[in-house]
Amino acid sequence: MIRPVTMPKWGLSMERGRITAWLAADGDEVVTGDDLAEIDTDKIAGTLESPGSGVLRCVVAAAGEDVPVGGTIALLADPETPAEELDEAARQARQEIDAGAIAGDEGPVTGTVEVDGRSLAYATLGTEGDVVVLVHGYGGDKNSWLFVQEPLAEHRIVHALDLPGHGESTKDVGDGSLGTLADAVLGFLDALGVERAHLVGHSLGGAVVVAAAAKAPHRVEKLTLLAPAGFGGPVNARYLRGFATATSRRELKPHLAALFADPDLVTRRLADDLLRYKRLDGVDRVLTTLLGTLLDGDAQAIDAARLLSTVDVPVTFVWGREDAVLPPGTTRPDVEHVDGAGHLVHLEAPGAVVAAITR
Amino acid sequence: MARTISYREAINEALAQEMARDESVIVMGEDNAGGAGSPGEDDAWGGVLGVTKGLFHKFPGRVLDTPISESAFVGAAIGAATRGQRPVAELMFIDFMGVCFDQIFNQAVKFRYMFGGNARTPVVIRTMYGAGLRAAAQHSQCLYPIFTHIPGLKVVVPSNPYEAKGLLIQSIRDDDPVIFCEHKALYDTSGEVPEDSYTIPFGEANVVRDGDDVTIVAIGRMVAMAEGAANDLAASGIEAEVIDPRTTSPLDTETILESVEKTGRLVVVDEASPRCNLATDISALVAKEAFGSLRAPIEMVTPPHTPVPFSDALEDLYIPDAQKVLNAAKAVVEYRR
Amino acid sequence: MTDTLREAYRVMRTIRAFEERVHEEFATGEIPGFVHLYAGEEASATGVCLHLDDRDAIASTHRGHGHCIAKGVDVHAMMAEIYGRKTGACRGKGGSMHIADLAKGMLGANGIVGGGPPLICGTALAAKQQNTGGVGVAFFGDGASNQGTTLEALNLASVWNLPAIFVAENNGYAEATSSAWSVASDNIADRAAGFGMPGVIVDGFDFFAVHEAAGEAVERAREGGGPTLIEVKFTRYFGHFEGDQQTYRAGEVAHARATLDCLKRFRDRVTDSGELDGPLLDDIDAEVAKLIEDAVSAAKAAPKPTKEDLETDVYVSY
């Protein structure tokens, strides 16, 4: 059986990607999650992980090539698959890339819902299966799930939500309390007619989904908490304040190093994208208000652990071992620590996060 | 997700959002409503390029048609700005500055200094510049260097719809006089623009593309062209860093110098006439502040020192193009002492 | 009414005393740059500005000291400015030709002939849009009456029906050139017809004539009746600038000083009618003399701006 490796769609606006380097070579045996290639897009550079296991039998698009999303860039197959079959598949893939048109590239469906007088934006991938809702952290948005939404959507309906004040949602968080944000998540479920969902939250979003579960436990199938706020341990208040107050790339960029284990991931474009968000009217106030939710002096103000103790839902924790924003603070036995990942564990180790969510 | 709109729509949206946010924001210019007082349709034109179309009915009494009297209405915008309004005056073509220059460079610009810091003149003059539409010598100039020369003015030269919206909102909220230069050939270009209001600070260059081999500074319409040239250069293994200063006054000298310190090579692309333009200004800056980093002479890609010609055959020769940028970049990269 | 009269006299006397003192001081060489004196024209600035308050803005000319005083700019700050001191109205950065006080609606004396009228269209527009009831007044000279900016502004003010008053101060000379030669129409006020507004000519040595004409124009403007052009005819007592030998003119100054002086005429009229008495006016003269004396001593003693001031105040933010 031949399994194509395609140009991923990282983020809603990605149309093409450039392969900057192959990390695996023809003939290499790979397993799901192995790093295959470095890919550069208008917005972000990332590592493409192997979608399956087998032998990398044919690299269709070489390093330096610019390929439309969905284009087949390599072929995985068993060692037994005949070479002629691979040659034919490679030829077809090549033709498709050269024609520049890739059939079947269906991007996420985006929409907005009204909740408590605010417009909330979301993006949905997947048409069948259980419902998963992805809730980003402080200053993030629905696009931060770009490496995990697509693999999750293979057998699920996956909504990535913009919390109030973030992304394309209304730039207002009211009192900015966990309760207000949790109501937004529950209101989002109502608006979409979703009875029960698997809630995945990162950082502040982790605390938000816990609060949502505490308010309406019957609506929550399961919780996956990625480096969640509110589970004890220190918080990098300097980072949070720096992020909130930075007004230029020069000011912002040094703070962003706290987000990753690999400092090379702090690109100019990442800083530019965050600045574009920060420069929207109202965001300044949103970030300042939420700072009050997150911080009590230099310590965490949120106690999500207490909220979680009131609910009986299955929970999984994932934490980057090198998290410099919210270092793992809980000693719970159910925490999965990911090596080589920082606070944005779903960007740095998407495979591990997908595995934890789907387990 | 991200919505795509044109440069023209981005400017219109910035005006509409600021007028909705702040009732002191007013708009005036020739045909800005177009048809006001005429027997036909009100709001017929929205300025000669349709940029202000639709605002007349949305904001009654705040979109003013003017007689063809640039001195009078530009002066009126300046006078109103001293009394609490935030006027945005449209001066159809930058070439027409000649007939109202006094009001800008002797009045608006000098008030704050001349009056010992006791003045605030938040006026924006939007104006259209640039060659490429066969509009000939009196409707095609790139006069932003003249304004850049004058202390007290801020000069904004947006290169795409995203920049246009954010920089115009910033211009309107700014408390100093601003000349906002719109390239006429960009109005129908499109790009991603957030629906929310947002600002882009002055004096912060945008690094459009990263590269280690050569720094290309380009302004206004030249930015996309330089980016295209940089992509072509990449095919021959030359990685160019493309910088869009966004505002020529204030100028983000730090970003330019940092880049040249990294690449050791500079190409400046400026659609303005070659003498005393932004290319010469930026070249002088780099020659003075980063001389030790330079590994090749600086290249300036500009038009010749002539008026803008009419015939397409001549105008196409006149305007800097991607090939000229490419050649200049290769020349500095291949330069050997 | 007697309050208004007392105020009118005080303002005119202040302008006269200020200008005569600057004339003397300039001759000592201590005042830098150019100064253009307003003496002889006091009735114009005073007669108009007595109708105005802080809602109203005025634009002035290079001969602007009188307009400043009449609009309420602090005399000490003005004198210090003329001396180029840090305590000046513009912290020593403007000088005689650029004294301003925007809080008082004084948009500045103006070094550009014809620079003011377009600006006044804007202040009048702002007043109209903000519904303050305010008006804008552009003072300009016979020279500026031939500038395109002035004519454009007259047209725009009519087209937009602005609460604006254009006061053409025709003192007979644009620099050294006679307005009888340089102004092609018989009167500057005749041009008002071409712009669809009333044009009025008044005797500029007669405070009461100016005051009455300006009163009507201001009232009409405040009520939405649009702009007016007022031509005030008189003679300046000094040259175009201090140091001007005035070889271009004959004996009209001596004649004006002797027989047409607005202050003398004012004093005679109000004392004859019994509205004000002589001793009271003498008291005002004494108060003004002391004010000017104090302003000059303070200005001379005040510090000059320093290196730290050179690069400030260019922008609100940069």
B166 — contact with chain A (CB < 8 Å)? yes
Q: Do A123 and B196 touch (CB under 8 A)?
A: no
Q: Which residue has the tokens 């609910």?
A: A311
Burial category of C211 from C-beta neighbours within 10 Å (exposed 0-12, middle 13-18, buried 19 and up): buried
Which chains reach chain C with 3 or more Cβ–Cβ distances below 8 angstroms? B
For A180-229, what is each residue's pLDDT tens digit? Answer: 999 999 999 999 999 999 999 999 999 999 999 999 999 999 999 999 99
Of B61, B83, B106, the CB nearest to C126: B83
- Selected for mutation to probe chain C from B107, B120, B170 (highest C CB count within 10 Å) is B107
Q: Chains B and C: how many Cβ contacts under 8 Å?
A: 162
CA C57 – CA C196 distance, rounded (Å): 23
Provide mean pLDDT across the span A248-275.
Answer: 92
What digits encode the pLDDT tens for the residues A12-45?
A: 667 788 898 899 988 899 988 788 998 887 667 7
Instruction: State how far residue A16 is from chain B, nearest Cα, in angstroms.
Output: 15
Q: pLDDT for B97-119, tens place per residue?
A: 999 999 999 999 999 999 999 99
Q: Give the chain B residue whose CA is nearest to the CA of C309.
A: B116
Chain B residue closest in CA terms to C97: B114
* DSSP conformational letter for A246: -
Under a CB-based contact definition with an 8 Å cutoff, are residues B159 and B181 in contact? no
Cβ burial of B268 (10 Å; 0-12, 13-18, 19+) is buried
Active site residue B149: no
Q: Longest C-alpha distance within chain B, in Å?
A: 70
Q: Which residues of chain C have pLDDT under 70?
A: none
What average pLDDT does chain A have?
91
Q: Answer whether A280 sits within 8 Å of B204, measured CB to CB.
A: no
What pLDDT does residue A103 have? Answer: 58
Q: One of B57, B139, B149, B305 is an active-site residue; which one?
A: B139
- Which one of C120, C140, C147, C152 makes the best mutation probe of the B interface by having the most chain B beta carbons within 10 Å? C152
State the smallest CA–CA distance between residue C88 and chain B in angstroms.
Answer: 9
| SS3 state of residue B154 | strand
Coil vs helix vs strand at C69: helix
Q: CB–CB of A268 and B166 under 8 A?
A: no
The residue with tokens 């230099």 is A298
pTM for this entry: 0.91
Determine the pLDDT at residue A14: 76
Q: Is the pLDDT of residue A105 over 60?
A: no
pLDDT tens-digit series, residues B119-159: 999 999 999 999 999 999 999 999 999 999 999 999 999 99
**Is-contact B62 B32, C-beta < 8 A?**
no
pLDDT at position B129? 97
φ and ψ at residue B27, rounded to 5 degrees:
-125, 135
Residue of B nearest to A275 (CA): B200
Q: Which stretches of B82-207 are DSSP H helices?
A: 101, 109-114, 144-148, 161-173
